[in-house]
Amino acid sequence: MKAAVYYENGDPSVLKYEDFPDPVCHPKGILVRVEAVSIEGGDTLNRFGGPLVTKPHVVGYQAGGEVIEVGSEVTNFKVGDKVATSGAFGSHAELRSVPARSAWHVPNGFDVKKASVMPVAFGTADDCLFEFGHLKAGETVLVQAGASGVGVAAIQLAKRAGATVLATASSDERLEKLKRFGLDHGINYRTHDVVQEVMRLTDKKGVNLVVDSVGGSTLQGSILSLAYRGRVSMVGGAGREGMKVDVSSLMGGNRTLQGVFLGAEIAGDRAYNNIQRLINEAAAGQLEVLIDRTFPLSEAAAAHAYIESRKAVGRVLLIP
């Protein structure tokens, strides 16, 4: 098969388009002909500095496609089914082998490209807001990096749960594109101080919940934006900074800093079934998947460079 591989960590130019051995189907797994690769925030971070499990390495958490082989112990998938898949690596390729527990059914008529975006972004956003963030109707949420894959999902899910939604991004153009997903107030962090803006928009009360996938100095702002009993769901390090933060403002306000890692939950029944529910809701038109742009798999380097230019709002896909 063809795959986008790299031999060393680095900027997007390390990605090469080469022949790579076909993966094998395991007894508890399925083999998928990939139709769309969703480039996740974690993929760019892993390319930049993550471990190379093989050399060359095929990076990537997420891809959707058609089942072409089913392991002898698998009963819930058949050849021809359309699936969205997730895994630790291996998405940037024409074929993908995953455990059946890392694949979700794509309902008839729902675009596989859209489904390929969903498990990690929507599953994570939903966990940040509800399972760990305990969001209630009437509360106010701040989504850091609202134009990210996790951010676009979090804005929609928070809005439909009855929250007022604030989000940050690096430009007014990016914020403008988020309004149709339910964004009430956008904060351009390049031109405005986020904490000051949050306090202005909330009559100095602060927000009840922050979804923070950026970390570092952004996380510090998230903590300082909290209302009394406010919670931060800390879920990523897209800002590529250290995570040293001052937590001294938490105790006096009965505030909580909560880490969230979908990877530790995804194989359990709760998270697995939750992701299938979210895919079904998108297929029924109740959630929207935002695909910014597609590139051929052979142009993975250009796709990663485009994401790092900070122009993408929502997901960028690779098409084998």
Which residue among 30, 95, 262, 318 contacts ligand NAP (CB under 6 A)?
262
Q: Does 186 bind ligand NAP (CB under 6 A)?
A: no
Q: What torsion do the CA atoms of 118, 288, 40, 174 make, to the nearest 10 degrees?
A: -170
Q: Does 212 bind ligand NAP (CB under 6 A)?
A: no
Sorted by sequence, the CB contacts under 8 Å of residue 127 that are 6+ apart come out as 133, 233, 260, 262, 265, 271, 274
The answer to whether the beta carbons of residues 45 and 84 sit under 8 Å apart is no
Q: Does 261 bind ligand NAP (CB under 6 A)?
A: yes
Closest distance to ligand NAP from the beta carbon of 51 (Å): 14
Place of tokens 């990877």: 263
Quote the CA–CA distance of 274 and 122 in Å, as a whole number: 9
Quote the CA–CA distance of 171 and 6 in Å, as a whole number: 31
Amino acid at site 295: F
Which residue among 37, 106, 147, 155 contacts ligand NAP (CB under 6 A)?
147
Which residue among 50, 56, 107, 239 contacts ligand NAP (CB under 6 A)?
239
Q: Does 148 bind ligand NAP (CB under 6 A)?
A: yes
The answer to whether the beta carbons of residues 1 and 95 sit under 8 Å apart is yes
At 49, which helix (H) or strand (E)? helix 41-49
Count residues contacting ligand NAP (CB under 6 A)?
30
Pick 50 or 253: Cβ nearer ligand NAP = 50
Which residue among 98, 120, 187, 245 contacts ligand NAP (CB under 6 A)?
120
Pick 78 or 180: Cβ nearer ligand NAP = 180
Q: Which stretch binds ligand NAP (CB under 6 A): 220-228, 229-237, 242-250, 293-301?
A: 229-237
Sorted by sequence, the CB contacts under 8 Å of residue 166 that are 6+ apart come out as 140, 141, 142, 143, 183, 184, 185, 186, 187, 198, 201, 207
Pick 34 or 150: Cβ nearer ligand NAP = 150
Quote the CA–CA distance of 227 and 142 in Å, as a whole number: 11
Pick 23 or 43: Cβ nearer ligand NAP = 43
Q: Does 41 bind ligand NAP (CB under 6 A)?
A: yes
Q: Which residues bind ligand NAP (CB under 6 A)?
A: 40-42, 44-45, 120, 124, 145, 147-151, 169-170, 174, 213-214, 235-240, 260-263, 307, 310
